[in-house]
Structure 1
Amino acid sequence: MPADTSPVLRHVVLFAFKNEAPSEAVDAIVAAFAALPAAIPGIAAYESGTNVSPEGLNDGLTHCFTLTFAAAEDRDAYLNHPEHQRFVGMLGTCLERAVVVDYWVR
């Protein structure tokens, strides 16, 4: 990272959906996640996509979401924000498991 650039915090979320989860419900979850940056201040950037790796090492994780924050306080506010909490409440019947990793970009 160039010396004149402030470090940023990445929040990476990986989802594995249940086999029986309806595709419409999965699509609704993906759309709801994509709507969070407009609803929650402090999210500097958002990306998402589905696994396309040919290596076969995804261990059932199919969807990746990456949020960028300028500060840990922004990430913490996101985690506690009512819209994020509402989103988390949507996951119950469709989500098999989730993995979350946060890191400071170097």
Structure 2
Amino acid sequence: MTANLSAPLRHVVLFSFKDGASADQIDAIVSDFESLEEAIPGVADLEWGTNVSPEGLNDGFSHCFALSFASVEDRDAYLVHPEHQRFVSTLGGCLEKSLVVDYWAR
């Protein structure tokens, strides 16, 4: 599919935390993730929330983060940015699994 250059590129990240992860540990990860919006140029928007679906189809994923970028180049720069890499390196102790999907908004 060809990108719509006027539409934002969305980068959606889902987290499932280990059973032993404390609320304080999860809150720290959320806060740290939120800080990436200001720390990394090119992040146009970042929002997040926790699963509230009654369908029971979340496969253990509880937290969803959606970042918006104006271009593939901005997204790619985010992925290799030292602050993003630092953040990713902190997840091992609490994170059970993650899922990432990127798409052009319509």
TM-score w.r.t. the length of structure 1 is 0.94
* 1:32-43 → structure 2 map (5 Å cutoff): 32-43=32-43
Distance 1:9 1:46 in 2: 12
Alignment of 1:10-89 (within 5 A): 10-89=10-89
Amino acid at match of 1:95: L
Q: Residues 13-33 of structure 1, C-alpha deviation per residue, up to 9 Å, x if partnerless? A: 000000101211111000000
The C-alpha deviation readout for 1:55-93, integer Å capped at 9, x for no partner, is 100010000000000000000000000000000011001
Q: C-alpha separation between the residues in 2 aligned to 1:22 and 1:47?
A: 22
Number of residue pairs the alignment of both structures matches: 102
Distance in 1, Cα, partners of 2:82 & 2:71? 19
Q: How high is the TM-score relative to the length of structure 2?
A: 0.94
Q: Percent identity?
A: 66
One-letter code aligned to 2:14: L
Pairwise CA RMSD of aligned residues? 0.9
Unaligned runs of 5+ in 2: none
